[in-house]
Amino acid sequence: MTNLQQRQNEIMTQIAAAAINQPLLDSGLLFHHDIRDNFYYASYLFAASHEEAIPFDGDREQAKIKAEGILLHVLELQDQNAESKTYGHWPLHLRPTPQEAPKNTLPVELMGSLMVYFYQRYSEIMSVSLRGSFTLALQHIYRSNFYRMPSEHYNHHEAKYTAAKLIFGQLYEDTALLEDGCQSLRSTLSRVTSIGMSEYGGLPWFWHWMQAFTCAWELMKDAEIKAELARLLDYLWEVRSTYYLGGAWVGPHSRIWPHDMPKDTNVLHDYVQFGDFRLPDHMPRTEYAGFIAYEASSEVQRKALHRAAPVEVTRRVPKQAALAVSDNDVLHSYVYITESFALGGMWERVQEFDNEQHRWDVALPLDAVQGVNHLYFFYPGLGYAEGDLRHQSEYSEVLFHQNALIASYQIPDGQPEFIMGCLPVGDWIEEPNGLFGLSGDVYMAVYVQQSFQREAREDRSVVTSKGRTNSVVIECIDQKTAETLQIRGIQQFANVMKQKQPVYTLSSEDDLQITYSTLKDETMVLCGGLHIDRKIIRLVNGEAVDFTTYTVA
């Protein structure tokens, strides 16, 4: 058994234990918040009841009975009326009752393909009733034709459609559908390798790409198609390894959910592949990490797991609405990654779906800290709710350079005048214009232009700073490097960094200019942005940032 398989079994064991110990609801299901979790948890429980390699303390026969009952309830909620507009679909959220809940197009996208995998792996040991229910449900999925969509935007929905075409085309020997899937697969591979993925760091949707195509790869019998799937999976794991740091996803995100920020908790596929952090108890996205896996190449493994030398990752990313690529259709992503931390983000602010772009942060490995592992500030925008540190707005500009960054906030009249920040747990020293901390193995200097208040919580600190014009300057350095500068201990670090306050000046156009000299004696200057027609000036050591050097993501 490989280490990868051992880690999959750990996940199976943990989820199966949760499934057997959780009481059933009156509906016969475990959850009403999302039908997919019922399918996933029951799948793990069924597997644990059968496979001796999966450690399981419960009664395996009772586990199988419970799992089959849940699966039968899930399958019976499918719309099996061929005349219905939601034919082949399931409800997503199961309220007010599972039977009354409206059908939704989302569950079948990923769950439908995974059902084929589960059925082919376990059909021989299913009860007659469960086997029959699966057979019928899969036929209705196939006949629903939900996946017969062209590849246009190359997002996570279309990735799942492409995988479903291949899976159901093979299952029902539909040559035309299989060929359609092949064409979609090839165009997807061509698109992402030549232009890049528009869903940069888009969690959990990146994992839907990964699961859909891994499922197709696991099931595919045709050697040529399987090889094409492997090439796409190689690309996806190359992307993941590029932005990987001890379970953290570093750099900007096109979309994030609360389990992505300020702490990475959607990490099961990372755990299976890399295994360099502890398996968490909390698993918000169980899905099928314990069942399907594509082992990444040794080169990809080395890139993800060995960060001895710092690297700068500079990439051009196609905008989500862009079908071609010109200079106006791309974003520019920058990340500086060391073995102890990563710093960077997206130069451009974009209004992504649900206003979920996460523009920049400092990221730490998961096991380096207790609690959140990202540090960032933002101006709250559309969708923001108290306690949910997402949904950034415009009115900000950024400058990244290796281990330091400047973020400027110039808020128009009539808008709430405050910014918010999140800090990981650590040893923090507060001064009037800054915070100096040691979190994990990293010293962090956080200069805030206006006065601020810090609320220390069990797993994070939340910072609020008021003012129409504001800025944050951050510099990070690991303890080993700090030693070379004769910095030993948080108080000594604070004493050194207090002497390096940013300089704030107003230009003749009343634009704020922020100048900062780093510990490497490199000068960063960020200016402009108060007026729409004013140019943003970003200088490092007197030179403007050169975006022409950025390569395809």
Q: Rounded mean pLDDT of 53-62?
A: 93
**64-114 pLDDT, tens per residue?**
999 999 999 999 999 999 999 999 999 999 999 999 999 999 999 999 999
Answer yes or no: are the C-beta atoms of 340 and 309 closer than 8 Å.
Answer: no
Answer yes or no: are the C-beta atoms of 268 and 288 closer than 8 Å.
Answer: no
Q: Which residues of 374-385 are buried (b: 16+ CB within 10 A; e: fewer)?
A: bbbbbbbbeebe
- Angle of helix 106-122 relative to helix 205-219, nearest 10 degrees, comes to 30
Q: What's the token pair of residue 339?
A: 């073995």
What's the confidence (pLDDT) of residue 530? 61
Q: Using CB atoms within 10 A of its CB, is residue 481 exposed (0-12), middle (13-18) or buried (19+)?
A: middle
| pLDDT greater than 60 at residue 323 | no
What's the confidence (pLDDT) of residue 532? 57
Instruction: Please provide the distance, in angstroms rounded to a whole number, between the alpha carbons at the two ends of the chain.
Output: 34
| pLDDT greater than 70 at residue 321 | no
553 confidence band (pLDDT: 50, 70, 90): confident
How many helices (H) and strands (E) the chain has is answered by 13, 24
Answer yes or no: are the C-beta atoms of 47 and 291 closer than 8 Å.
Answer: yes
| pLDDT greater than 80 at residue 322 | no
Residue of 140, 189, 139 lying closest to 163 (CA atoms)? 189
| pLDDT greater than 60 at residue 425 | yes
Measure the CA–CA gap between 366 and 293, rounded to whole angstroms. 22
| pLDDT greater than 90 at residue 305 | yes
Residue of 206, 216, 8 lying closest to 114 (CA atoms)? 216
Measure the CA–CA gap between 532 and 292, rounded to whole angstroms. 49
What's the confidence (pLDDT) of residue 442? 98
Map residue 270 onto helix, strand or coil: helix
Mean pLDDT for the chain overall = 95
* Residue at token pair 């059902």: 115
Question: Can the peptide bond before residue 96 be classed as cis, meaning omega within 30 degrees of 0?
Answer: yes
* Residue at token pair 């050097």: 549
Q: Using CB atoms within 10 A of its CB, is residue 355 exposed (0-12), middle (13-18) or buried (19+)?
A: middle
Q: Rounded mean pLDDT of 393-408?
A: 96
What's the confidence (pLDDT) of residue 533? 61
**195-237 pLDDT, tens per residue?**
999 999 988 899 999 999 999 999 999 999 999 999 999 999 9
Q: Identify any residues that bridge with 343 across adjacent strands, giving them in sequence order.
A: 336, 362
| pLDDT greater than 80 at residue 507 | no
**255-277 pLDDT, tens per residue?**
999 999 999 999 999 999 999 99
**3-13 pLDDT, tens per residue?**
999 999 999 99
Q: Return the higher-pLDDT residue of 510 and 215.
A: 215
Task: Give me the percent of the chain exceeding a pLDDT of 90.
Answer: 88
What's the confidence (pLDDT) of residue 428? 98
What's the confidence (pLDDT) of residue 139? 98
What's the confidence (pLDDT) of residue 483? 96
In terms of DSSP bridges, do strands 342-346 and 360-363 run parallel, antiparallel, or are they unpaired? antiparallel
What's the confidence (pLDDT) of residue 449? 97
**274-301 pLDDT, tens per residue?**
999 999 999 999 999 999 999 999 999 9
**335-359 pLDDT, tens per residue?**
999 999 999 999 999 888 888 999 9
C-alpha distances in Å from residue 246, one per residue of 275, 305, 369, 531, 535: 9, 7, 11, 40, 38
Determine the distance from the C-alpha atom of residue 472 to the mean position of all C-alpha atoms in its chain, rounded to a whole number: 25
Answer yes or no: are the C-beta atoms of 522 and 475 closer than 8 Å.
Answer: no
What's the confidence (pLDDT) of residue 512? 87
In terms of DSSP bridges, do strands 103-104 and 90-91 run parallel, antiparallel, or are they unpaired? antiparallel
Element spanning 303, H or E:
helix 298-305
| pLDDT greater than 80 at residue 188 | yes
What's the confidence (pLDDT) of residue 214? 98
Answer yes or no: are the C-beta atoms of 56 and 17 closer than 8 Å.
Answer: yes
Task: Give me the percent of the chain exceeding a pLDDT of 70.
Answer: 97
326 confidence band (pLDDT: 50, 70, 90): low
Q: What's the token pair of residue 15?
A: 């989820």
What's the confidence (pLDDT) of residue 506? 84
Measure the CA–CA gap between 189 and 217, rounded to whole angstroms. 14
Map residue 248 onto helix, strand or coil: strand
**Confidence (pTM):** 0.96
**151-178 pLDDT, tens per residue?**
999 999 999 999 999 999 999 999 999 9
